[in-house]
Amino acid sequence: MGRYIVKRVAVGLVQLIGLTVAVFFLIRLLPADPASRLVGMNPSREAYEQARHQLGLDQPLLTQLGAYLGLSSSGPGLLEGDFGTSWVTSSPVGSEIATYLPVTLELVTISFLIAFLVSVPIGMVGALNPGGRSDKAVFVYGLFAGSQPEFWWGLLFVYVFFFALGWAPAPLGSLSPMTSPPPSVTGFLTIDSLLAGQPDVFVEALQHLVLPVATLVFVLSGPIVKMVRQNMARALRADFVLYANCAGLPPARVARYALRAAMAPSMTLIGILYGFMLGGAVLVENVFSLPGIGQYAVRAVLAYDYPAIQGVVLVITALSLVVYLGIDLIHAAIDPRIVH
Amino acid sequence: MRSFTSLLCAMTVASAVAGPLHAETAKTILFLAEDVPSGLDLDGASASITTSQTGMVNIMEPLFGYATKGVNASGITVPDFSKFEGRLVESWAFDPKTLIWTLHLRHGVKGCTGNEFTAKDVVYTYERGKSVSGSTPVGWFLANVASVKGFTADVFKNPAARTLSPDEVKAVDDYTVTIAQSEPNALFLPVLTIFGTYIFDATLMKAHATDKDPWAHDFANNVSPASFGPYCVERWEKNQEIIFKANPNYWRGKPAIDRVIMRRVPQSSNRMVILRTGQAQLTQNLTPREFDSLRGAPGLKVEGVEGNESLFIIMNFKIKPFDNIKLRQAIAYAIPTEQIIKTGYFGQAKPWHSIVPSIYPGYAETPTQYPYDTAKAKATLADAGYPDGKGLEAFHDSFQLTYPAEKESTVGPIVNIIQSALRQVGIPATLNPIPLAQFGDRTLVKRDLPFALNDYDKAIGVDAGYTLQLFLVSANKGGIANESDYSNAYIDETWPKARVETDPAKRNALLADMQEQAMKDVALLPIVEFKTQYALSDKLTGLSWQSDSSERFFDLKLQ
Amino acid sequence: MNAIEPASAAQLAPPPVLHVEGLSVSYRTGERVATPIRGLDLTLRAGEIVGLIGETGSGKSTLALALLGLVRSPGRIVSGKLLFGGRDLLAMPPDERRAVRGRDIAIIVQNPRASLNPLLRIGRQIGYVYRSRAHSSAAETRRQTIELLREVGINDPERRVDAYAHELSGGMAQRALIAMALASRPKLLVADEPTSGLDVTIQAQFLDQMWQTVQHSGSAALLIAKEVGIIANYCDRVLVLHEGRIAEDQPVRAFFRAPLHPYSRAVLALQRDGAAKLSGVAMAAGATTRPLISANGLSKHFPVRNSAKVVQAVSDVTLDIWPGETLGLVGESGSGKTTVGRCFVRLTETTAGHIVYHGRDLERLSGSELRQARAKLQIVLQDPFDSLNPRWTVAELLGEPFRIHTKLGRAERRQRAADLLKVVDLEADLLDRRPRGLGAGAMQRLNIARALATKPDFIVLDEPTSVLSPSAIVSLVALLRRIQVEFGVSYLFISHDLTTVRYLCHRVAVMYLGQIVETGAVEQVFARPRHPYARALLSAHLDPDPANRRVDRRSDEQLKGEIPSPIDLPVGCYLASRCPHVLPRCGEQPQNLVPLADGRSVRCWRVATGDLTGDALTGPLV
């Protein structure tokens, strides 16, 4: 198993390097010129040239690649862990990603945990009582939740729960503007506030997460419930479940047998959804003014901020590879037939 | 898990009951914007972003400003563009023979760090500008536009030319500075009111210089170059919020509002909704429909000013068939201005009668106009050689009306109106939204858009001449924003004369002629000027407007 | 303990454990309703094993589950009473029924590995079953589980208890299931074709085990089987399921003497009498000086992925096949017989050793010589469906060899194809049909016809009868014999069906784990096998004669344990771990094939030295 992990990590590193170089060249094929964005109010020829020089765009492509990787003499590059400087904010891309990524991770991870805890029992009940009341209710919910995009639900929730009912805090971001955030250790507001011994900030951070998490949970639960239900129904028809009934095992135990068999393929879906949501949460981030990685990525692409684009692609890909490896390991832990 | 969830619900309800934001001992306002500053360096990559400019103008101070004209009908204080007043400058004199401006600086001005303002700060600012070491050389550009001596294009090619010499800008003593011009350019004072020439606190900046970054661009972009302005930066989280704290040493007195929290809320509907609950006190850049819906809302007011924002159409002279002047005029007649004002702007706009903002000195309503007239449009189209649009199918690609996709919510209805109106006359217009960055590149740098609608480009220098130089002079003769690639010999010859004309009356006459020529050629097609609007709590007063449209927090008062 | 004579059992009439009245089970799929069980009655008493036979699809498995009160969806138990110990199972509340099911009724199903939860270790699963019936600590449960596994004959139970289902062989899994079933000493054991898919010696071990356990505990057992041999050897009473009801219910000897129901008679006729039809020794081949084709020191091993180890499929096999004779090759899974067959026609390359054909090394041939050789060496495989391209017509299929090896035109090829059809007793109008609608027997004849097209000297027949019905087997085997007589073809006949081997083969070689353990004339080996494995194999053959039951015989032929893995083979005799006659020397010395005086060869030092004599066997194979 250890060898397997090492092999996967090594392959992943090679993939990342290949991807970095590929993205590096591909974004330079985009039709707009990042330098011209900088010279908005001052588009003199000289300013334009100056901007191009500042961004290093007047150099040959391979030299730019070398500088980005840190192979040239102009300072540290990607190979030393320096992601470069954003062309919009002039802040280091690495520290920007380190600020925004935890926001998204916090949102997506909490949403997935809750979606998982909510969806699995519902799926189970649906499989154990097919055609029953809860099954029908879930079917309707699945149709309903999947029919609108998540930002529509987000805006609706804001309108109903914040504006009309006043139950939720304003969609102003992760904390109220009056509260000063705790010192940043991990980047996760919830963890940092606990580490700093500020339980009131912790509670406030959770309050501000309620609506965005509810939006994501609402939308994610649909596919997860369906998948769990389907897999569990299939497991319940398996021979070993029949045999367990024959052997007189209590129904709760038999249900657990079936659930465990259903979990392995369901985990794969959940892992893929998670990797997808890292970028896919951008619309929810936008609605709730959360400074997440999706926002950062969109802004980087629209502003042709090459170092930021490259940095985001790299980080999200690396995260996805880690998630997929984790899923494979969990799958192997659940199902001993899988051999690595 | 269940008990935790119910605890969470209880707390949410409890906190909501606590009610909206109240300023208790210190007066604080929450200002919602579509973004917060992503940099605060005047020469940095964010200098062209309006939300970043808002940060810059509140933490730094200019040498000159405009006198106040008064409060307009809506409640906004507007400037008098004919009168300058000194800000960091107490009094000034100009010698037309030597072309030297002598500026007597104000005493006792203290910055956020407690440093006192003296002539060295002015010199440092110009040294920095001339070094063109930032991502975008705004300081150099403005000094160049004002014909400040030494600020020529030479500095880009010749590193030796980047050092400031005393015969350009000199500190005569601690409170006296001389600045020399290379020609009698009337734009000197207007330029010094633009944010790009605001004065740095030299001591602060030098303290944060490094070997690799001697002009502290990194510090300015990521920490704060707050110098002698009314506010200092208390906290800054890019992409999230920036908190401005009043500068107790500000030379006009401590600002009435102690803290301004500027928060990023990208969805305009959310900004509106939060404002309605009273949790925030000020916001901007909502869609015209949203502003309209807030007009009667309790506790809120919507204030607007006829500023310098306008809507115009670009038709590229170098791309057929737009080299045909009659065709351009036909299109001009076909634009239904009133309908655009009503449906696109909810009445908060007015027709535009020149290519220069009507509030700018030197504006002249041109004799040639193109009022909406479909019959005339069709007749002119026939004159152009395309009766009923026959023959225009060959130029199908040229009639794609391009506009920035990000502005869909405001510009969307307008382009639809224009498209139907043009089609009625026989012009095969289609719509083509593209990303803003690409739009900017193609209009300003590559100049290869045949047909486009622009609602955000404007000349920030408050002068018709400056505007004409930017937009109408040939691209290779200084027309750096000549988006339609217009080239007219008369204009190219007249502008150099007007630039150095010292007699205001004569200058205005020349500018009027240029505007008329531009109108005849439909160099750029002006459609409407629309109001710059703000939505705010009715307890907030003192909102003022300047040509960059950024809010000045110093003038605000909260009851 | 001896079996009680069924006649006297009826007099003693032990109490009924299960009494079924009027049971009906129906399935509704959409519009159609099928009722496999309708109004069925039966009684099972303590201490007796009842056999149940019926056609495929007659509802035997449905009945087995229904006896527990269970049914696979979308079926339903429509009506009936299941009186178990006086109480109606179907009328009980579900919890009570479950309790009864767990405690008192046990079931063993057909596919053992699918019945075990693949995600949990078998020890845990057995433990759950154990604990659902009695409160017990985790440590105590584990101990009990290990004991159970040991009782059912699983070696090394301390290690096996932590294995997963896919790590067990079919036989071991079936034993683990027995362990689960017997964990609570049930009153009724239902076994639904428990040995399908298992090797013959393993089947014998398993059924012996089951029989002993039932005798010890005095429970009732229902044994569902397809082969009458199993019924004859293990059951006291026989039930026949036909059209949803029990059509016949007789004590076993009476049943075999005189079956009442027409269906029973048909079944017996096929299985028992069919064997009798295949009598008469095959005609001895004419003597010639040189064998037609030989394998000398043939070895083949396959590398194991991600490891340096190898699977030793075939070790040092030396066989001669003379013109016009049939050599039988028998053995169980892992014996390597299929690999040997494939090496003979060079479908697989050898790792060591030669195949000598007409004096030439087959593996040295290439080009046109190889092609000519291939024309003369043919093979017929196990699965007739897979061997024929379903999109070709019969004429094309039979014409293919002519296309490859000759230059005949289309009309001529068609003519030859028609001739071949005649040889194998198929109608000529099949020429333009596709093989799709044909039965397995007819398809296998087609395969043989195709093999005969190039007038081969030698045909390898690799389990050609294993998927055929009994009647098809009889006619196919007769055909093969006729062809051999007519054309003088030699066969290498690979099979596990000893009856057909007996009929068709002149000589036979018995293989175990890649080695030949005994060769000789077929009468010699079958009548009196010498090697312990050959003895175990032949005595595991269950002949349908209730008067001569395996369980009534003294058995010193029984092998212990499982067939070991062909990866880590021991130094000495491969059978040492299982042999009832093992001595320390067996495990230390590698064993060689030693010729005996009567013309056969045996790979066992004890036999070669006369230590082990071995009695003659009885039965129809002799």
DSSP secondary structure of C56-123: TTSSHHHHHHHTTT---TTEEEEEEEEEETTEEGGGS-HHHHHHHHHHHEEEE-S-HHHHS-TTSBHH
Band of residue C5 on the pLDDT scale cut at 50, 70, 90: very low
CB contact B44 to A (< 8 Å): yes
Which residues of chain A are within 8 Å of residue C177 when distances are taken between CB atoms? 243
The strand pair at B241-246 and B259-264 is best described as antiparallel
Element (DSSP H or E) covering residue B412: helix B408-425
Query: B494 with B551, same domain?
Result: no
Residues B234-243: tens digit of each pLDDT: 999 998 999 9
- The subunits that touch chain B, with at least 3 C-beta pairs less than 8 Å apart, are A
Give the other-Cβ count within 10 Å of C387's Cβ. Answer: 17
The DSSP bridge partners found for residue B171 are: B177
Mention every residue, 6+ apart, whose C-beta is less than 8 A from residue A77.
A66, A67, A68, A69, A70, A71, A84
Pick from B55, B51, B34: nearest CA to B272: B34
**Closest CB to A51 among B17, B135, B144:** B135
Taking residues A273-279, report their average pLDDT. Answer: 85
Give the other-Cβ count within 10 Å of B233's Cβ. Answer: 19
CA distance A322 to chain C (A): 25
Q: Identical fold at C16-275 and C293-608?
A: yes
Choose between B319 and C177: higher pLDDT: B319
Taking residues B453-462, report their average pLDDT. Answer: 89
Which residues of chain A are within 8 Å of residue B267 when distances are taken between CB atoms? 155, 171, 286-287, 289
Query: B31 with B144, same domain?
Result: no
Does residue B226 lie in a domain region? no
Band of residue B22 on the pLDDT scale cut at 50, 70, 90: very low
Select from A80, A103, A125 the last residue of a domain.
A80
Query: A58 with A98, same domain?
Result: no
Does residue B228 lie in a domain region? no
Domain count, chain B: 3
Q: How far apart are CA B274 and CA C34, in angstroms?
A: 66
Query: B484 with B495, same domain?
Result: yes
Chain Cα centroid distance, residue A30? 25
Query: A70 with A100, same domain?
Result: no
Interface of A with C in 63-102 (CB under 8 A): none
Taking residues B331-350, report their average pLDDT. Answer: 94
Whether residue C489 contacts residue C324, with contact meaning beta carbons closer than 8 Å, is answered with yes
Query: B471 with B326, same domain?
Result: yes
Residues C165-216: tens digit of each pLDDT: 888 877 778 878 877 777 677 888 899 888 877 778 888 888 887 888 788 8
Residue B33 is classified by DSSP as: E
Does residue B174 lie in a domain region? yes
Q: How far apart are CA B116 and CA B118, in angstroms?
A: 6
Mention every residue, 6+ apart, whose C-beta is less than 8 A from residue B425.
B330, B334, B374, B377, B378, B381, B389
Residue B204, pLDDT > 90, answer yes
Chain Cα centroid distance, residue C111? 14
Q: What b/e sequence results for C581-606 when a residue is b if at least 16 CB atoms lie within 10 Å of its CB, and e otherwise?
A: bbeeebeeeebebeeeeeebbbbbbb
Query: A143 with A34, same domain?
Result: no
Cβ-defined contact of A155 to B267 (cutoff 8 Å): yes
Residue A198, pLDDT > 70, answer yes
Which residues of chain A are within 8 Å of residue C111 when distances are taken between CB atoms? 239
Interface test mutation site (partner A, options C95, C117, C180, C187, max chain A beta carbons within 10 A): C117
Interface test mutation site (partner C, options A239, A259, A337, A340, max chain C beta carbons within 10 A): A239
> What's the confidence (pLDDT) of residue C12?
58
- At residue C380, the 3 state secondary structure works out as strand
Mention every residue, 6+ apart, whose C-beta is less than 8 A from residue B516.
B364, B366, B367, B368
Whether residue A241 contacts residue A257, with contact meaning beta carbons closer than 8 Å, is answered with yes
Query: A11 with A132, same domain?
Result: no
Specify the length of chain B in residues. 559
Per the structure, the complete domain to which residue B246 belongs is given by 4-38+234-307+533-558
Four-residue CA torsion sign, C137, C139, C140, C142: positive
Residue B25's CATH number: 3.40.190.10
Residue B154's CATH number: 3.90.76.10
Query: A65 with A152, same domain?
Result: no
Percent above pLDDT 70 for chain C: 93
Residues C259-280: tens digit of each pLDDT: 888 877 777 776 666 555 555 5
Domain count, chain A: 2
Query: B298 with B323, same domain?
Result: no
Amino acid letter for position B559: Q
Q: What b/e sequence results for B401-412 when a residue is b if at least 16 CB atoms lie within 10 Å of its CB, and e otherwise?
A: bbbbbebeebbb
Pick from C335, C358, C362: nearest CA to C346: C362
Select from A80, A111, A140 the last residue of a domain.
A80
Pick from B198, B132, B56, B237: nearest CA to A91: B237
Q: How far apart are CA B220 and CA B226, in angstroms?
A: 9
CATH superfamily assigned to domain C16-275: P-loop containing nucleotide triphosphate hydrolases (3.40.50.300)
CA distance B498 to chain A (A): 20
- Mean pLDDT (chain C) is 83
Band of residue B521 on the pLDDT scale cut at 50, 70, 90: very high
Does residue B423 lie in a domain region? yes
> What's the confidence (pLDDT) of residue B87?
94
**Closest CB to A43 among B218, B270, B480:** B480
Query: B409 with B290, same domain?
Result: no
Cβ-defined contact of C181 to A335 (cutoff 8 Å): no
Cβ-defined contact of A237 to C166 (cutoff 8 Å): no
Least confident range of A39-43, B221-225, B335-339 = A39-43
Secondary structure of chain B: what % helix, strand, coil (to 5)? 35, 20, 40
CA distance A302 to chain B (A): 6
Least confident range of A42-51, B187-196, B434-443 = A42-51
- The highest-confidence range among A74-88, B414-428, B460-474, by mean pLDDT, is B414-428
Whether residue C35 contacts residue C59, with contact meaning beta carbons closer than 8 Å, is answered with no
Residue C229, pLDDT > 90, answer no
Residue C281, pLDDT > 70, answer no
Q: What is the DSSP track for B194-230?
A: SGGGPBP-HHHHHHT--SS-TT-HHHHHHT----SSS
Query: A306 with A241, same domain?
Result: yes
Taking residues B211-225, report their average pLDDT. Answer: 92
Pick from A39, A44, A4, A54: nearest CA to A307: A54
Enumerate the domain spans of chain C: 16-275, 293-608
> What's the confidence (pLDDT) of residue B211?
92
**Residue C264, both tokens:** 């029973």
Band of residue C11 on the pLDDT scale cut at 50, 70, 90: low
Interface of A with C in 211-270 (CB under 8 A): 237-240, 242-251, 253, 257, 260-261, 264
Q: In this structure, what is the dihedral angle of CA atoms B121, B123, B124, B126, given to the nearest 10 degrees?
A: 130
Cβ-defined contact of C164 to A243 (cutoff 8 Å): no
Element (DSSP H or E) covering residue C419: helix C410-423
Give the other-Cβ count within 10 Å of C297's Cβ. Answer: 12
Residues C444-473: tens digit of each pLDDT: 999 999 999 999 999 999 988 887 877 788
Interface of B with A in 117-136 (CB under 8 A): 132, 134-136
Place of tokens 């030597």: B98
Q: How far apart are CA C479 and CA B534, in angstroms?
A: 101
Residue C511, pLDDT > 60, answer yes
CB contact B446 to A (< 8 Å): yes
Query: B239 with B297, same domain?
Result: yes
CA distance A151 to chain B (A): 11
Does residue B418 lie in a domain region? yes
**Closest CB to B265 among A34, A155, A289:** A289
Query: B177 with B253, same domain?
Result: no
Burial zone of C53 (CB within 10 Å; 0-12 exposed, 13-18 middle, 19+ buried): buried
Interface of C with A in 173-232 (CB under 8 A): 177, 180-181
Specify the length of chain A in residues. 340
> What's the confidence (pLDDT) of residue C8?
47
Pick from A210, A288, A209: nearest CA to B267: A288
Band of residue B25 on the pLDDT scale cut at 50, 70, 90: low
Chain C residue closest to A240 (CA)? C115
**Residue B73, both tokens:** 């009908």
Does residue B49 lie in a domain region? no
Residue B8, pLDDT > 70, answer no
Residue A104's CATH number: 1.10.3720.10
CATH superfamily assigned to domain C293-608: P-loop containing nucleotide triphosphate hydrolases (3.40.50.300)
End-to-end alpha carbon distance in chain B: 46
Band of residue A178 on the pLDDT scale cut at 50, 70, 90: confident
> What's the confidence (pLDDT) of residue C559?
79
In degrees and rounded to multiples of 5, residue B437 shows phi and psi of: -60, -40
Cβ-defined contact of C70 to A239 (cutoff 8 Å): no
Interface test mutation site (partner A, options B29, B140, B141, B194, max chain A beta carbons within 10 A): B141
Residue B353's CATH number: 3.10.105.10
Residue C78, pLDDT > 80, answer yes
Burial zone of A334 (CB within 10 Å; 0-12 exposed, 13-18 middle, 19+ buried): middle
Does residue A87 lie in a domain region? no
CA distance C237 to chain A (A): 25
**Residue B80, both tokens:** 């008098």
Residue C440, pLDDT > 60, answer yes
Query: A47 with A148, same domain?
Result: no
For chain A, helix (H) and strand (E) counts, in that order, are 14, 0
**Residue A41, both tokens:** 């109010």
Amino acid letter for position A198: Q
Residues B61-120: tens digit of each pLDDT: 999 999 999 999 999 999 999 999 999 999 999 999 999 999 999 999 999 999 999 999
End-to-end alpha carbon distance in chain C: 28
CB contact C164 to A (< 8 Å): yes
CA distance A196 to chain B (A): 19
Query: A57 with A126, same domain?
Result: no
Question: CA of A119: how far to CAs of A123, A247, A281, B73, C122, in Å?
Answer: 6, 30, 19, 58, 30
Q: How far apart are CA A115 and CA A108, in angstroms?
A: 10
> What's the confidence (pLDDT) of residue C13?
65
Query: A139 with A238, same domain?
Result: yes
The strand pair at B540-541 and B557-558 is best described as antiparallel
Place of tokens 């192979």: A71
Does residue B141 lie in a domain region? yes
Which residues of chain B are within 8 Å of residue A296 when distances are taken between CB atoms? 239
Q: What is the DSSP track for B416-433?
A: HHHHHHHHHHT---EEEE
**Closest CB to A335 among C72, C119, C181:** C119
CA distance B559 to chain A (A): 19
**Closest CB to B38 among A88, A174, A203:** A88
Per the structure, the complete domain to which residue A70 belongs is given by 2-80
Mention every residue, 6+ apart, whose C-beta is less than 8 A from residue C229.
C271, C541, C542, C543, C544
Cβ-defined contact of C109 to A243 (cutoff 8 Å): yes
Residues C15-51: tens digit of each pLDDT: 788 888 888 888 887 788 888 888 888 888 888 899 9
Query: A70 with A103, same domain?
Result: no
Chains C and B share 3 or more Cβ pairs within 8 Å:
no
- At residue A17, the 3 state secondary structure works out as helix
Cβ-defined contact of A33 to B441 (cutoff 8 Å): yes
Residue B17, pLDDT > 70, answer no
Q: How far apart are CA A321 and CA A12, in angstroms?
A: 7
For chain B, helix (H) and strand (E) counts, in that order, are 19, 21
pTM confidence score: 0.77
Does residue B221 lie in a domain region? no
Element (DSSP H or E) covering residue B411: helix B408-425
Chain C residue closest to A340 (CA)? C306
The strand pair at B176-180 and B100-105 is best described as antiparallel
**Residue B474, both tokens:** 């040939």
Select from A53, A80, A107 the last residue of a domain.
A80
Secondary structure of chain A: what % helix, strand, coil (to 5)? 75, 0, 25
- The subunits that touch chain A, with at least 3 C-beta pairs less than 8 Å apart, are B, C
